[in-house]
């Protein structure tokens, strides 16, 4: 997945060969914000403009810019994977939740 980061916000970037243009969509917002550009530099400038406009609009209307998340979610996996993950967690002396959190951190941490 192609992403771009700005001020702690992440945008998913897609290329449209029909228009020869990139489209970015800022993730995790209490609303939608996207932007377009033909070059990486133009895309970065438009990301800044779109994010600034979104944040100003939120401030003007008293809206929290980011969607809130609870920290809880359900994951569906095969019974075989569930059993293997539970065994791996026990072997490490940690809970299954801790094992899943460790795996998620490994996959989504920057760098």
- Report the percentage of the chain scoring pLDDT > 90: 92
Going from the C-alpha of 94 to that of each of 27, 61, 73, 84, the distances in angstroms are: 31, 44, 19, 14
Q: Kindly report the average pLDDT of the chain as a whole number.
A: 94
Range of lowest pLDDT (6-20, 35-49, 97-111): 97-111
Average pLDDT over residues 14-27: 96
How long is the chain?
111
Whether the Cβ atoms of residue 13 and residue 35 lie closer than 8 Å to each other: no
Q: Report whether pLDDT(111) > 60.
A: no
> Are 35 and 50 spatial neighbours (Cβ–Cβ below 8 Å)?
yes
pLDDT above 90 (res 21): yes
Per residue in 25-69, pLDDT (tens digit) is 999 999 999 999 999 999 999 999 999 999 999 999 999 999 998
Beta carbons within 8 Å of 29's beta carbon, 6+ residues apart: 9, 54, 65, 66, 67
* Model confidence band, residue 109 (pLDDT cutoffs 50, 70, 90): confident
Residue 80 has which token pair?
């075989």
Instruction: Give the angle 15-36-107 at the CA atoms, nearest 5°.
Output: 55
Instruction: Evaluate if pTM is beyond 0.85.
Output: no
Tell how strand 9-16 and strand 21-26 pair up.
antiparallel
- DSSP strand pairing (3-6 vs 9-16): antiparallel
């Amino acid at each position: 997945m192609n992403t771009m980061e700005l001020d702690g916000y992440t945008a998913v970037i897609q290329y449209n060969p029909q228009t020869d243009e990139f489209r970015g969509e800022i993730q995790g917002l209490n609303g939608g914000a996207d932007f377009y550009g033909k070059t990486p530099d133009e895309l970065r400038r438009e990301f800044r403009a779109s994010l600034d406009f979104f944040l100003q609009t939120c401030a003007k209307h008293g809206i929290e810019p980011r969607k809130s998340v609870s920290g809880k979610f359900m994951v569906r996996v095969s019974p075989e994977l569930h059993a293997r993950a539970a065994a791996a967690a026990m072997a490490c002396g940690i809970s299954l939740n801790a094992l899943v959190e460790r795996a998620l951190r490994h996959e989504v941490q920057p760098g």
